[in-house]
Structure formats: C-alpha cells, structure tokens
Chain A
Amino acid sequence: MSIRNRFDEQLEVLNSHLIELGTFIEQIISLATMALIELDPTLVEKVIEVDNEIDLKEKEIETLCMKLLLRQQPVASDLRLISSALKMITDMERIGDQSHDIAKISTFLNDKEYVKQITKIPQMAEATIKMVTDSVNAFVMRDLDLALSVIEYDSVVDGLFGEVRRELIHLIKTENDKGELALDLLMISKYFERIGDHAENIAGWVAYAITGEHKDA
C-alpha cells in the first residue's frame, strides 16, 4: 500500500471518529434536554457519563491529528482538513461541557409544570442537534452548501433565544416568586444559544477545510 493510500485510510479513520463524536454530541444535547424537561437526576448522571466519553474522544482525535501532522506533514486541502478537525473538536467538546452545565442547572429547578410550558427550549435543542449533525455530515461529505446552511441556521436558534427571553421577562413581571426559576431558565437557554454558536463555528471550519476561506460568523 502506498504512503498516500495509507494516509487516505487514516483520514477515513479521522472521519469515523468525528462521526462518533458528533453522535455523542447529539446524544448529550438530547439527554440534557430530557433531564431538564423530566427533572430526572438519573438522566443527569447519564449526561455526565456522555460528557466523559466526549472528553476521551476529543483527546483521541487530537492525538490522531497530531500523529497525521507529524508523520504526513500535510499541505493544501489535507492540511486544512486536519487543522479544521482540530478546531472542530474544541467546539464539540465545549458543547459537551455546556450540555453538562444545562443538566446541572436542571437539578435546581423545581417547577416541572412551568418548565414544560417553555416549549421553545426543546426547540432550541432540536435546532442545535440538527446543526451539529449537518456540520459533521458536511465535513465527511465535503459538502460546502450544507456547511453554509448550518451557518445560516444559527439565526433560528438566536430567534428562539429571543422568544424564550421574552417569555421569561413576562414570567418575572407576572409572578413575583418565579424570579429564580426565570434566571435559571435564562441561563439554560443562553447555553443552548452558545451551543448554536459552537455548531456554527464547526460549520465555519468545515467551509474553511473545503475552500480555504474563512466565512465570517
């Protein structure tokens, strides 16, 4: 097998690691959302487990990328691919941390009924999951249009954040004793909004890997 073929094979391994990490990310966002809606402490435990898996996977991918940089001294699209992967996993790991934070805050919440009413938060979760999935797919398929659509899609998450915020302002105004709950939920929705930004960054790196140009976020 030629050196180039071996290199291509290792790039395939990098792809599959990123797909696995992407799957963990989708999982952790879903789990954190469920932990929030169900206010179920066992789900929080699961979030912590998946977050640990994400950290391990990030290290594994980082090691692989360093090995490829060292051994292959890649240039051009190969260099962009590997350096983008290194940047992407940092954003992915941050999504894991923020999902973990969401799950932790959910343990302080005690008003299950009200939390259920804020339907925009699960919508934010859904939107960010879609963004992460599409970013990883765009990376693996080298699909620039898909990456660019993810960057566009962040405005959906930002819009939802604005709506949640307005609902929470209304809550504080109308129910004096719900101030603490409103703040916790605001933080949670802010974490989702940040997750959207990380997903947008990931898509930005995918676009860079393909074109060599940075898209302004």
Chain B
Amino acid sequence: MNKISIQNLNLWYNDFQALHNVNLEIEENNITAFIGPSGCGKSTLLKTLNRMNDLIEGCRVEGKILLDNVNVYKDMDVNLLRKRVGMVFQKPNPFPMSIYDNVAFGLRTHGIKKKSELDNIIEKSLRDAAIWDEVKDRLKKSALGLSGGQQQRLCIARALAISPDVLLMDEPTSALDPISTNKIEDLVLELRKNYTIVIVTHNMQQATRISDHTAFFLLGEVVEYSRTTALFSIPQDKRTEDYITGRFG
C-alpha cells in the first residue's frame, strides 16, 4: 500500500527550478532511499514531504503530495502534518536541555502535561530508539553530554515520541562513526515494522543494506526508481549505472 504519493511535483527556489515533475509512490512500512549527487534535489524533495520548505523564502511548489490520499499542501493542517511526518537531520541537534525534556518537548507542545503519561511515552520512545539502557540513569542530565551516535538516537526518540506515521531522515549517519552508524541502521530496520521511512543517504552501501526501494535523482529529476536490489544490480538507466559505479558524481 502506498503511504505517500508524489504527483507531478515541481519546485522552485525563486527562479531556480529544483525539482522537475517528480512522480513517486512511497510504500507503507518500507524504507525508501533517495540517492544522487549533491544538489540533485533529494533533500529538497524530502523536506517537501512535511512542508519544511514552507519556511524557505522564495520557495514555490506545484503538484500534489498525498499522505494517505490527503493532499498535504491543500487539505491538511501543517502542524498535524509535522506531527505525522517526523524528521531526523544529518547532524544530531538535541535541544540544550535534559535528555528527558528533549523527548518531552514535542509532547508538551501537543498538550501532554501529565507526568506519568510523559514518563511512559518517554521511556517507550527511548526504548524504541534503542538508547534507553544507555540513558535511563541520567535522564535529567544535559543531552549535550551524549556522544554523537547517542544524540542522533535521542533525536530519533524525540521524533518517535509524538507517534508519527512517517519518519524522514536526511543523511542521519553521515556525521557518525561506523559503530554508531550500525546502531542507527539496525534501529531503522527495526522501526520499519511500524513506520514508513524515507532516508536520504550519500552512502550507497547503506542504501543497499537497509532500503527496500531506491530513487536515483539527478538535476532535480527522478532518473530511476525501483526495488533497491534491482537498482543496484541491473540499473535500467545508464546515468544510474554511471553514478552508482562511481563513473561520475
């Protein structure tokens, strides 16, 4: 089943067209990877999925993005959209507050104030993000004291706390060492059971390891979109072949 349907999407930053007629169907409970050289539009597309581009001046979008068949640009409140579509960024960005308050932040924003309820959701989120055992004795300590990998998992816990349907990840491991990367990848595979995940990655091996589908972007266009194993073994487009085998880019 398709969770997200992107239809004839065009996007401009002022006069510059960053996305050209993108059509993609993103399956539910799947991991979809976006790959492509820098500046090809993959992060731009990721951001349109929860309308983060609304914050950028001069950004104009045409076309449709449907989340469970509802047009997110027309028929959905942006706050609700961002609750349903969470985001994890390239660099871990914990708030300068305690571990507990980081995860509680979104929950409080959405009106959950009761301590016992907060405690429960925070523990579950930290467990789901595979970091609970490492932080359970220091929940009131600053999140900034965690390692990079722990901070990233905390950010994932923070995103999970508000029970999104979709998790967008923009190069979530590019700033991490191999061990932390492994942990995040294991976690993403685990989260796949309950969430639809879209991940932008420059690490092709990561895309092959964890994703079900891969879309290859070039100059704002989707050149090829297919099952990851097919795309990396028998790419149909020469440009995909040239990019993934390192002949350009």
Please list the residues of chain A having a beta carbon within 8 angstroms of any beta carbon in chain B.
Answer: 3-4, 7, 73-80, 212-213
In the assembled complex, B204 has its CB within 8 A of some CB on chain A: yes
Min distance, Cβ A1 to any Cβ of chain B, angstroms: 13
Chain A's interface: helix, strand, loop or mixed, by majority?
helix
Residues of chain B in range 202-239 having any CB-CB distance to chain A below 8 Å: 204-205, 208, 232-235
Please list the residues of chain B having a beta carbon within 8 angstroms of any beta carbon in chain A.
Answer: 204-205, 208, 232-235, 240-241, 244-247
- Please give, as numbers and ranges, the residues of chain A lying within 8 Å of B232 by CB-CB distance: 75-76, 79
**Complex contact A74–B245 (CB within 8 A):** yes
| 24 A–B pairs (Cβ distance < 8 Å), ordered by A | A3-B246, A4-B246, A4-B247, A7-B246, A73-B205, A74-B245, A75-B208, A75-B233, A75-B245, A76-B232, A76-B233, A76-B234, A76-B235, A76-B241, A76-B244, A76-B245, A77-B241, A77-B245, A78-B245, A79-B232, A80-B233, A80-B234, A212-B234, A213-B234
Min distance, Cβ B66 to any Cβ of chain A, angstroms: 32
Tell me the complex Cα distance, A76–B204, Å: 12
- Please give, as numbers and ranges, the residues of chain B lying within 8 Å of A212 by CB-CB distance: 233-234
- Please give, as numbers and ranges, the residues of chain B lying within 8 Å of A7 by CB-CB distance: 246
Tell me the complex Cα distance, A146–B246, Å: 28
Min distance, Cβ A214 to any Cβ of chain B, angstroms: 11
| 11 further interface pairs, Cβ-Cβ under 8 Å (given A7-B246, A74-B245, A80-B234) | A4-B246, A73-B205, A75-B208, A75-B232, A75-B233, A75-B245, A76-B235, A76-B244, A76-B245, A79-B233, A212-B234
Tell me the complex Cα distance, A150–B212, Å: 37
Min distance, Cβ A28 to any Cβ of chain B, angstroms: 34
- Please give, as numbers and ranges, the residues of chain B lying within 8 Å of A3 by CB-CB distance: 246
Tell me the complex Cα distance, A74–B235, Å: 13
Tell me the complex Cα distance, A4–B247, Å: 7
Tell me the complex Cα distance, A78–B205, Å: 14
Chain A residue with the shortest CB-CB distance to B242: A76
